[in-house]
């Protein structure tokens, strides 16, 4: 896939409930991206359990490449049916996007219709209704292009404003019109669109949110890639090979570690310069190498960058306003969509913990911890050891 799927979701709990009855989940594999939104009947603990169970069944089966029709049949056959309303105890929407062809399939069972925008204009992908175990299921498909947006929503969003000038709530058409206005104002990215829609939903509900409301946005945009080269390779003779991979990388380039920085500078026939103005009491100064976007010290700076990222909850806009190396590194990591860590395994004895096995470096543990945090921020991360 030559673009990045920027995905973000946000929910409002029904007033008085600690748990949301809606569940959204995103899974990315090498071959496809799966997005599921389930709305459990009612609210609170019971609804949350039902929507979570529905989502987990769908994700587990879809990840295992079970045909979607069989997935739907399993879920519908598993869900209990309300004796009064004669409807299933949970509704759901499934979006599956193929990374090779950019084709998407959308399955909708009793959730509001998806919102699909092509270049900021509302579009209606070709759809059909099929019968599975006696239930009407809406299915549509298409091909995602850069700039396209798919929105999934629970009916709590549409109910907002009930009893005001919108006698039957905000409604699907009004949400669609509102979103077209957002795209007209050049609002791009899943997060700002989702936050705006949920913010409007909350405003319409006022002080009393009458139903769990969830909105999930999928925005196809240009990929922001980053490579982080840290630690010298085990084999000195392979230095040039890995440095060339760094230089050939299609994206921003970061080098972490004094030794690593000097290896790169020597390869480029440069001298690693130090920017003393970026030195702080707890963070070493950054370096300068022409052709590299950021050069920092290694373990200390990376550890501090991880602390900054955790403190701001992965929100790049909440990072402190400073230019020390750790904040600059955290900003690079949080701004990127796909991060490739190229990690040298030569152990620096100065940083070796005597309580750990000799073949287990602090750098390796730290990189894996950073990568895991970035995955929770829905970043694509990959680590290669050299």
How far is 39 from 46, CA to CA, in rounded Å?
11
- Domain carrying residue 362: 225-385
Residues 202 and 336 in one domain: no
Read off the CATH number of the domain in which 79 is found.
3.60.40.10
Residues 183 and 247 in one domain: no
Residues 212 and 240 in one domain: no
The strands making up 90-98's β-sheet, listed across from edge to edge, are: 22-28, 32-40, 90-98, 103-109, 135-143, 127-132
Last residue of a domain, one of 177, 197, 221: 221
Structure tokens at 218: 């999928």
Residues 195 and 287 in one domain: no
Residues 204 and 234 in one domain: no
Structure confidence by residue, pLDDT tens digits, 192-250: 999 999 999 999 998 789 899 999 999 998 889 999 999 999 888 888 999 999 999 99
Pinpoint the alpha helices (H) of the chain: 44-63, 68-78, 155-159, 172-184, 190-205, 239-248, 258-267, 299-311, 325-335, 362-376
Q: What is the mean pLDDT of the chain?
A: 89
- Burial class of residue 296 (count of CB atoms within 10 Å of its CB; 0-12, 13-18, 19+): buried
Residues 150 and 77 in one domain: yes
Q: Tell whether pTM > 0.95.
A: no
Last residue of a domain, one of 167, 186, 221: 221
Residues 170 and 240 in one domain: no
How far is 171 from 211, CA to CA, in rounded Å?
14
* Ramachandran sector of residue 378 (left: φ over 0; alpha: ψ -120 to 50; beta: rest): left
pLDDT in tens, the chain (386 residues): 678 999 999 999 999 999 999 999 999 888 899 999 999 888 888 889 889 999 999 999 988 888 888 888 888 777 766 655 555 578 999 999 999 999 999 999 989 999 999 988 999 988 899 888 777 889 999 999 999 999 999 999 999 977 555 556 799 999 999 999 998 876 668 999 999 999 999 999 987 898 999 999 999 988 899 999 999 998 888 889 999 999 999 999 999 999 999 999 999 999 999 999 999 999 999 999 999 999 999 999 999 999 999 999 999 989 999 999 999 999 999 999 999 999 998 866 555 555 544 444 688 899 999 999 999 998 999 999 98
Residues 167 and 267 in one domain: no
Last residue of a domain, one of 173, 204, 221: 221
Total domains in the chain come to 2
Residues 35 and 155 in one domain: yes
Instruction: Look up tokens 């949400």; give the residue.
Output: 175
Read off the CATH number of the domain in which 342 is found.
3.40.50
Residues 195 and 300 in one domain: no
């Amino acid at each position: 896939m030559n673009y990045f799927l920027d995905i973000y979701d946000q929910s409002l709990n029904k007033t008085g409930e600690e748990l949301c009855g809606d569940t959204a989940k995103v899974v990315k594999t090498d071959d496809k991206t799966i997005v599921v939104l389930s709305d459990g009947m009612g609210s609170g603990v019971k609804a949350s359990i039902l929507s979570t169970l529905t989502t987990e069944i769908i994700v587990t089966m879809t990840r295992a490449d079970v045909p979607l029709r069989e997935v739907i049949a399993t879920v519908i056959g598993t869900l209990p049916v309300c004796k009064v309303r004669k409807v299933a105890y949970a509704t759901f929407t499934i979006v599956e996007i193929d990374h090779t062809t950019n084709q998407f399939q959308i399955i909708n069972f009793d959730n509001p219709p998806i919102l699909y925008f092509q270049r900021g204009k509302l579009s209606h992908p070709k759809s059909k209704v099929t019968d599975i175990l006696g239930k009407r299921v809406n299915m549509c498909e298409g091909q995602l292009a850069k700039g396209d947006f798919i929105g999934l929503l629970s009916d709590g969003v549409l109910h907002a404003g009930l009893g005001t000038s919108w006698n039957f709530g905000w409604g699907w058409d009004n949400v669609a019109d509102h979103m077209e206005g957002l795209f007209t104002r050049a609002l791009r990215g899943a997060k700002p669109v989702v936050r705006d829609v949920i913010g409007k939903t909350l405003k319409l509900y006022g002080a009393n949110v009458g139903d769990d409301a969830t909105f999930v946005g999928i925005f196809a945009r240009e990929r922001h890639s980053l490579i982080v080269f840290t630690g010298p390779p085990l084999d000195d003779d392979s230095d040039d090979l890995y440095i060339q991979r760094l230089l050939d990388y299609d994206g921003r380039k970061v080098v972490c570690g004094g030794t690593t920085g000097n290896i790169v500078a020597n390869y480029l026939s440069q001298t690693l310069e130090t920017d003393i103005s970026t030195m702080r009491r707890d963070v070493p100064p950054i370096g300068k190498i022409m052709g590299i976007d950021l050069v920092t010290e290694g373990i200390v700076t990376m550890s501090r960058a991880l602390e900054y990222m955790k403190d701001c909850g992965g929100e790049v806009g909440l990072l402190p306003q400073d230019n020390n190396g750790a904040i600059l590194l955290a900003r690079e990591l949080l701004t990127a969509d796909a991060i490739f860590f190229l990690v040298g395994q030569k152990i620096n004895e100065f940083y070796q913990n005597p309580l750990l096995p000799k073949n287990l470096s602090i750098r390796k543990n730290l990189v894996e911890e950073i990568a895991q945090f970035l995955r929770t921020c829905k970043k694509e991360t990959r680590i290669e050891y050299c």
